[in-house]
Chains A and B, each alone.
Chain A
């Protein structure tokens, strides 16, 4: 947080102080607001660190347990891979694969149900968004060849 504040303060330092030359309307430049927001973060961070120092205990850290990062990672990795694949496979193929993956490997569903889930969900979303409300979602590389999605 202190690092974010420092970067923001450096980036917006040019017009951080009220302007008296009449260069900016109202006397505030574009850097005033981000600079002092970042200063607020930095000031509060100092207080938080001071209080943490006063109340420092030798207890276990919040990320010390292996599950604290392995369990979320098992969910996060397929999510990241799915989002990365959207630009090539499009939203609907990725939705089918992603839903099917969870149904098979977490839900232990039979293959027939995996296929039903992988087809039904993207179809439902396609009909609601593309057809019903005319909301266009990312298409696959096959879209240019005349494939509907």
Chain B
């Protein structure tokens, strides 16, 4: 009876939230926010975080003079966040350049499907549909369980987070058809690159060889842009020849949407499960969203029937991480609203906005400002619907980008890659890193080394080390902390099982081979 009362009460509050969010002024702000977010997401070097930060001053004006006050302001900022999430996908799929950390994983299959298999429209619509469904599931979870989940998330300490990061690495070992040893080598290389610069715990410089530029470390954005964006340009120059012009179908109609829906129907459970996983990882404060998208990809691959197609344009490889990433973004608002702890860099900026508008994020927000909380919740549903519609309408235009002549698109990708890596820290050193890793990426491709484990390790390496050392500091150096709580022990056992799976599979295959050969003989 209590559950039913709680359910109907939440539905009533949500209806009130829709009443607020659907006011013409708020719908207008949400639409403008979503559009600006899309533009910001597509532009290299600008992501959701910088977009929200750039437009934060405008929200002070909206909060003070607009008819909706702080609710209108947060609806506008949230719109930018959702728009940027969708916009980052476009650059990943069409240019092989990641927008945000969690859209890095889309490079593995999004670009190959768009370019190598010649289906940019399918790649884009698959990702937009997965985003929308992932966000919808996450918003439903946000609506009904935000406060309860925020409390559970607090049980995740450094030991549990360390186990989660290990799980993310484990799912990617043996990616594609390459040997697990090559994946392990790439993970080691990524971890090593992530370790370059100041040690976050002791402040000691590591692997800097007395070079000042390297003290702040090697960022994953310049490396990823180099490995994928530049590396692909060099590889295609050799494989397809300089001056190669794409001959792709840019006609996008109802047929493409029907095809995407058909593909989605086949993978609906994968999308739903990865969305729930992504949402949960988003709820975890810190780097949850990135780990969620990588884990979503890794798990989808582990349990896919088309395992060999991953990395070559497999639709599950687009839908699963995209659903997880968007769900993570929604999840990252849970600790912000319910606890006053930001779940992601973007939600940290939105939280700064809450303080500026005179609100105190945390449990009391639900009691003191229910209009604000439920207005924001309703705007998450509406914001995703608006962005999804905008993106779907823009797909024919976006797909035509693939038809731009080689002599224009190739230097243009180089230029936006330079902007993307430079604008991160206003540093030419980052541009040199991008160029260098362009060559490294080309060489690794030629030598058939998987790039995904390298990227996962460089993105998550820093956080993995930090959680490992924080856990050991908390335990006074005792490694038993990793199995001390039932949650940590379960996660660690799962991580070890996932790590050992490729080895066991490899041994089984080797044993099966002579037996099959004997049988054949």
Would A103 and B407 be within 8 Å (CB), given that A38-B192, A74-B242 are in contact? yes
Q: What residues of B have a CB within 8 angstroms of the CB of A51 in the complex?
A: 179, 181
In the bound complex, CA of A57 to CA of B410 (Å): 36
Q: Across the interface, which residues of B come within 8 angstroms of A26, CB to CB?
A: 201, 469-477
Give Cα A25–Cα B200 distance, bound, in whole angstroms: 12
A70 and B237 CA atoms in complex are apart in Å by 9
Binding-face segment, B313-321, B395-403, B421-429:
B421-429
Indicate if the CB atoms of B237 and A72 lie closer than 8 Å: yes
CB distance from B502 to the nearest CB of A (A): 13
Residues of B within 8 A of A33 (CB): 191, 195, 465, 468
Q: Is the C-beta of A67 less than 8 angstroms from some C-beta in chain B?
A: yes
Question: What is the bound-complex CA distance between A39 and B406, given in angstroms?
Answer: 42
Please report which residues of chain B, range 447-492, place their CB below 8 angstroms from some CB of chain A when the two chains form the complex: 447, 461, 465, 468-477
Residues of chain A from 33 to 91 with CB closer than 8 A to chain B in the complex = 33-34, 37-41, 43-45, 47-48, 51, 62-63, 67-68, 71-72, 74-76, 79-80, 82-83, 86-87, 91
Known A-B contacts A72-B442, A75-B237, A107-B407; A31 and B184 likewise in contact (beta carbons under 8 Å): no
CB of B264 within 8 A of chain A? no
B439 CB–A CB distance under 8 Å: yes
Contact B473 A1 (CB under 8 A): no
With A44-B181, A48-B182, A98-B414 as given contacts, are A71 and B419 in contact (CB-CB < 8 Å)?
no
The answer to whether A4 touches B192, judged by C-beta atoms less than 8 angstroms apart, is yes
In the bound complex, residues from chain B placing their C-beta under 8 Å from that of A17 are: none
Size bracket of the A interface: 35 or more
Which of A62, A87, A109, A128 is the one whose CB lies under 8 Å from B43?
A128
In the bound complex, do residue B188 and residue A37 qualify as a contact, i.e. CB atoms below 8 Å apart?
yes
Asked whether A34 lies within 8 Å of B181 as measured between CB atoms, the reply is: no
Kindly identify which residue among B238, B412, B414 contacts A72, using a CB–CB cutoff of 8 Å. Answer: B238
B191 touches A37 (CB 8 A): yes
Q: Is the CB of B192 within 8 A of A62?
A: no
Q: Are A75 and B426 in touch, CB under 8 angstroms?
A: no
- Once the chains bind, are B199 and A129 in contact (CB under 8 Å)? no
CA distance in complex: A34, B465 (Å): 10
A1 touches B189 (CB 8 A): yes
Report B419 CB to chain A, min CB distance, Å: 7
Closest to A136 in B: B426
Q: Are A38 and B206 in contact (CB under 8 A)?
A: no
CB distance from A121 to the nearest CB of B (A): 7
Interface string of B177-220 (1 = CB under 8 A from A): 00101101101110110011001011010110100000000000
Alpha-carbon distance A38/B195, docked complex (angstroms): 10
Q: Are B469 and A28 in contact (CB under 8 A)?
A: yes
Query: Taking A8-B192, A37-B188 as contacts, is the C-beta distance between A99 and B238 under 8 angstroms?
Result: no
Interface flag for A133 (CB, 8 Å): yes
CB of A47 to closest CB in B, whole Å: 4
Query: Would you give the shortest CB distance from B203 to chain A, in whole angstroms?
Result: 8
Tell whether A93 is near chain B: CB-to-CB under 8 Å: no
Contact with B along A1-21 (1 / 0, CB 8 A): 100110010011000001000
Q: Are B418 and A29 in contact (CB under 8 A)?
A: no
Chain A's nearest CB lies how many Å from the CB of B453? 11
B422 touches A137 (CB 8 A): yes
| Contact of A34 with B408 in the complex, beta carbons under 8 Å | no
When distances are taken between beta carbons in the complex, the residues of chain A under 8 Å from B418 are 83, 86, 91
Which residues from chain A contact B19 at a C-beta distance below 8 Å?
none
Question: What's the nearest-Cβ distance from chain A to residue B221, in Å?
Answer: 14
A44 to B207, Cβ gap below 8 A?
Answer: no
| B45 interface contact, C-beta 8 A | yes
A5–B192 CA distance with the chains assembled, in angstroms? 9
Q: Residue of B at shortest CB range from A87?
A: B428
Contact with A along B26-60 (1 / 0, CB 8 A): 00000000000000100101100000001000000
Measured in the bound complex, the distance between the Cα atoms of B411 and A101 in whole Å is: 9
Nearest-neighbour CB distance to chain B for A74, whole angstroms, equals 6
A110 within 8 A of partner (CB) = no
- Complex CA gap A44/B446 in Å reads 19
Docked CA distance A109–B473 (Å): 63
* Cross-chain contact A109 with B407 (CB below 8 angstroms): yes
In the complex, chain A residues whose CB is within 8 Å of the CB of B188 = 5, 37-41, 44
**Cβ A102 vs Cβ B195 within 8 A:** no
Residues of A close to B204: CB separation below 8 A: 30
Query: Provided the pairs A30-B201, A44-B184, A72-B237 are in contact, do residues A99 and B439 lie with their beta carbons within 8 angstroms?
Result: no
B406 CB → nearest A CB, Å: 7
Question: A residues within 8 A CB of B473?
Answer: 25-26
- Jot down 27 A-B pairs with beta carbons below 8 A, ordered by A: A5-B188, A24-B201, A26-B477, A27-B477, A30-B199, A33-B195, A37-B195, A37-B461, A40-B184, A40-B185, A47-B179, A48-B182, A48-B185, A67-B238, A72-B234, A72-B235, A75-B237, A76-B439, A83-B432, A91-B422, A98-B411, A106-B406, A107-B405, A125-B415, A129-B423, A133-B46, A138-B428
Interface contacts beyond A44-B181, A109-B407: sample of 16 additional A-B pairs, CB < 8 Å, sorted by A: A1-B185, A30-B201, A43-B184, A47-B179, A48-B181, A63-B446, A72-B234, A75-B233, A76-B234, A86-B428, A91-B422, A98-B415, A103-B408, A133-B43, A133-B54, A137-B419
Residues of A within 8 A of B (CB): 1, 4-5, 8, 11-12, 18, 24-31, 33-34, 37-41, 43-45, 47-48, 51, 62-63, 67-68, 71-72, 74-76, 79-80, 82-83, 86-87, 91, 95, 98-99, 101-103, 106-109, 117, 121, 125, 128-129, 133-138
